[in-house]
Structure 1
Amino acid sequence: MSRYGRQMQLPEIGADGQALLSDARVLVIGAGGLAAPLLPLLAGAGVGHLTIADPDAVDLSNLHRQTLFAEVDCGQPKALRAAKRCQEINSEVSAVGVAEALTPANATAYVRNVDIVLDCADSYAASYVLSDTCCDLKTPLISASVLGLNGYVAGFCGTGPSLRAVFPEMPDNTQSCASSGVLGPVVSMIGALQAQMALSVLLGFDPSPIGQMVQVNAKTFRLSTFRFDTASEPESRFAFVAPSSLGARHKIIELRDSSEAPVPAHPDAVRIAPDEVRAALPDPATPLALCCSTGLRAWRAAEQITEIWPGEIVLVAASTS
């Protein structure tokens, strides 16, 4: 009561709501800028079981927005440091850090036994892999993205449409925080909204944030929101797959040259430049696997190929998360 008394005074929470939070199992993919405000808020609220997955280490260049960490943490695994920090904030919760990337191969194992998934990965491929997995398992997904001074957070899957229903085509903007920059407070605003959406889902608030998108422009201080409950799922999709799922029946094309990727995504891949793929297409009965770093180059090539080739196409993102 001493720890949670202020939030338990809210009629929307009370003792029953606090018990729901205590029993909740939450998966957080990514322990960077979005997770920096999100994780302390969830731990502080008494969310009982947090699993945090991120393959990267704390880096000095990210501390301006990844405020969960200090200079002394540089070089340490982000997921492990984040989990330790959550335990320091609230010893009553369980926080487990896993220093590995989300991939199409392990996504189902991560998502299967949790109540909600929070996408903080800053990776287009990871977001689509999570959405596809959560859609299949009917698990709520709160996904967020920030670039520059703009960002969004939205609730997908569970009882609502998936990410692909709202973003069925390849993103127009293929930049990242590393390439175009980002401001710390913008990330913190979106991360805090993401935490509130997660708590709202866990507590069963009505209306639910599933099917709701919030967009933030921090330059103009404009916030806009809309619902997409009736958005239709696309009739077809380019699925992201793990290299280990590819076999002899596939034609595997590595779109990166040897200077960018000395080791291709799959040992059986042939290197072909994106503008030369059309001339190397197999019989339509042979599935085609297109490989690149983030998956976006592969997606762009796939969109062009489908104009002239009716076969199955899957995508491989070498760095999914």
Structure 2
Amino acid sequence: MLAKTELERYNRQMILPELGLEGQERLKVAKVLIIGAGGLGCPVLQYLTAAGVGKIGIADDDVVELSNLHRQILYNHTDIGQPKAEIASAKLAVLNPHVSFTAYHERFTSDNAISICQEYDLVMDCSDNFNTRYLVNDTCVTLGKTLIFGSILAFEGQVAVFNHQGSANYRDLYPTPPAESMNCGEGGVIGVLPGIIGLYMANEAIKLICGIGETLAGKLMTINALNNTVLVFKIAQEKQTEIVKAETPVSSPKEIDKATLDQWLSESPDEVFLIDVREDYEYEENNMGGVNISLYELTSSLKSIPKNKKVVCYCQTGQRSKMAVRLLKEDYKGEVYGLKGGFTG
């Protein structure tokens, strides 16, 4: 039952016919765990708190640093050196006293993953490293929990809903970690990007809790804030459920390793067409040859790609090249491969 002050507080969203009183009551009894209280975690936490999610868990073993403040706007300079989970809980309790918070100022590991996750209805992965992402995913699969995933780097972000009513999970998208990977500390990030991606994640959470709208279950949304491009990919999984059978799943992209590419280039260089699918400023800074066609310009550049050669897409880590292969296979009939692990792998 919502208190009178809550009815007034949430009035503007409750008058939406899709949400209404029933949706607000669902939010009130919902229990959501946010893993990572950094760039993505901050907007997710702020907006789910404001929306009236009843119980929120915050798992993060990190402390606030000065370099966090350009994007983690829940914190300020007086919080430097303080535990993020505890500081976030205190600040959010002021934002909405009707929400209860549990802070886990500890590293999310295989020793505590199940005990932390099991009491929540929904898990949101706002972490910034692959080890944690795989652990969160595997824990959610084990416990049968829906997982909302987000990631950011430079000007690009990703959002997906995994393991929801039989939909694909993170390992269907990325079966194994890349050989080389970067986080925001190494590759940089524009300060507004966590807000954009974090708000999409929070919106997915509200839709899932209230049972409204169309979610990103079984799909991956990518957003490029530099050129305002948004793409949505369907994620293939080993066993399709009824939810995604109506859609045509995308097969796993073909990949080759660096040794195979070197052999092709050595034995028959005229039969290989290399495409660097990063942005032009990345290509100019460092590349391994070939032409530069941004991931987001591939579909409009099909005429420039020969059909009688082996097309090999590459990027820094191999993640964008995977998406490039999926994107090209929709309209391109020639051989297309991604460089596994990227040119740094």
* Paired AA for residue 172 in structure 2: A
Give a deviation string over 1:116-154, Cα, whole Å, max 9, x none.
001011111111001111111110000111011111010
2:153 to 140, 147, 151: 147
Q: Aligned pair 1:91/2:97, yes or no?
A: yes
Match of 2:175 in 1: 168
Match of 1:211 in 2: 218
* Corresponding residue SS for 2:227: coil
CA distance in 1, matches of 2:215, 2:183: 30
Q: C-alpha displacement at 1:210, in angstroms? A: 1.9
* Paired AA for residue 111 in structure 1: C
CA distance in 2, matches of 1:183, 1:44: 25
Q: Aligned pair 1:40/2:46, yes or no?
A: yes
CA distance in 1, matches of 2:23, 2:234: 25
CA distance in 1, matches of 2:207, 2:68: 29
Tell which deviates more after alignment, 132-141 or 219-228: 219-228
Give a deviation string over 1:13-44, Cα, whole Å, max 9, x none.
11111010000000000000001111110000
Structural mapping, 1:148-297, within 5 Å: 148-159=154-165, 160-171=167-178, 173-228=180-235, 230-232=236-238
Q: Does the Cα contact within 8 Å between 1:134 and 1:158 map onto a contact in 2?
A: no
Q: Aligned pair 1:102/2:101, yes or no?
A: no
Give a deviation string over 1:259-317, Cα, whole Å, max 9, x none.
xxxxxxxxxxxxxxxxxxxxxxxxxxxxxxxxxxxxx9xxxxxxxxxxxxxxxxxxxxx
CA distance in 2, matches of 1:191, 1:45: 14
Q: Does the Cα contact within 8 Å between 2:130 and 2:177 map onto a contact in 1?
A: no
Name the % identity.
Answer: 38
Match of 1:249 in 2: none
Match of 2:66 in 1: 60
Q: 1:165 to 1:26 in 2, by over 3 A?
A: same
CA distance in 1, matches of 2:24, 2:216: 19
Match of 2:296 in 1: none
Unaligned runs of 5+ in 1: 234-295, 297-321
Q: What is the RMSD computed on CA atoms of the aligned residues?
A: 1.5
Aligned length: 233
CA distance in 1, matches of 2:102, 2:117: 15
* Paired AA for residue 27 in structure 2: L
TM-score, with structure 2 as normaliser:
0.65
CA distance in 2, matches of 1:173, 1:232: 26
Q: Does the Cα contact within 8 Å between 1:26 and 1:51 map onto a contact in 2?
A: yes
Q: Does the Cα contact within 8 Å between 1:201 and 1:210 map onto a contact in 2?
A: no
Match of 1:270 in 2: none
* Paired AA for residue 178 in structure 1: G
Q: Which has the larger radius of gyration?
A: 2
Runs of at least 4 residues off by over 4 Å: none
TM-score, with structure 1 as normaliser:
0.70
CA distance in 2, matches of 1:29, 1:170: 19
